[in-house]
Structure formats: C-alpha cells, structure tokens
Amino acid sequence: MKKIVWTSFGISFVLVNVIAEVGAYYTGIYIHMFFRIALIVGVTLGATVLGGTFKLIDVLDQEKPLAGTVKDTLGADRKKA
C-alpha cells in the first residue's frame, strides 16, 4: 500500500506541475500553488483508494483458514472429538 501511495504521489506531483506550467505558457493563466497542492493531494488520495480497492479484490477469492481456539466454526480447523 505504501508503494501505491508514493507512486501515485510522484506521478501526480510531476503531471500536475507540468500541465500547469504548459498551460501557463500557452494560455497565460497561472495556476496558484495552493490549487496545485490540492490537485496533487486529491489525485493521490483517489489513486490510493482505487489501489487499495484493487488489492482487496485480488485477495477476495483466497480463503484463509481460521486458527487458534475458535469453538463455533465448521471449518477444517475444528478438532474432531
């Protein structure tokens, strides 16, 4: 998860600033740094949520057996008396 956050942060940091500078060069409209930071944080949070969702969906079909002293399970970890 940490890798997803840092990767999306780096990509959004570079892309937002490049797009803002190119837009300022061609249109003359300057995007304030506060708005750029808000865009970077928004893109990072969105990518983090989507990345976490995809990771959860990937492990959804993998069943993990229970372990320990569970008494009310019908699975393979229940001791036969």
Residue 68 lies in a domain: no
Residue 4: how many CB atoms within 10 A of its CB? Answer: 17
Quote the domain boundaries for residue 9.
2-58
In tens, the pLDDT along 40-69 reads 999 999 999 999 899 888 888 776 666 656
CB 31 within 8 A of CB 24: yes
Whether residue 13 has pLDDT greater than 80: yes
**Prediction pTM value:** 0.67
Residue the block writes with tokens 């892309």: 15
| Residue 27 burial (C-beta neighbours within 10 Å; 0-12, 13-18, 19+) | exposed
Q: What is the pLDDT of residue 12?
A: 93
In a domain, 72, yes or no: no
Which residue intervals of 1-81 are DSSP H helices?
A: 2-27, 33-58
Is 74 part of any domain?
no
Q: Does the residue 28 lie in any domain?
A: yes
Domain count, the chain: 1
pLDDT higher for 6 or 75? 6
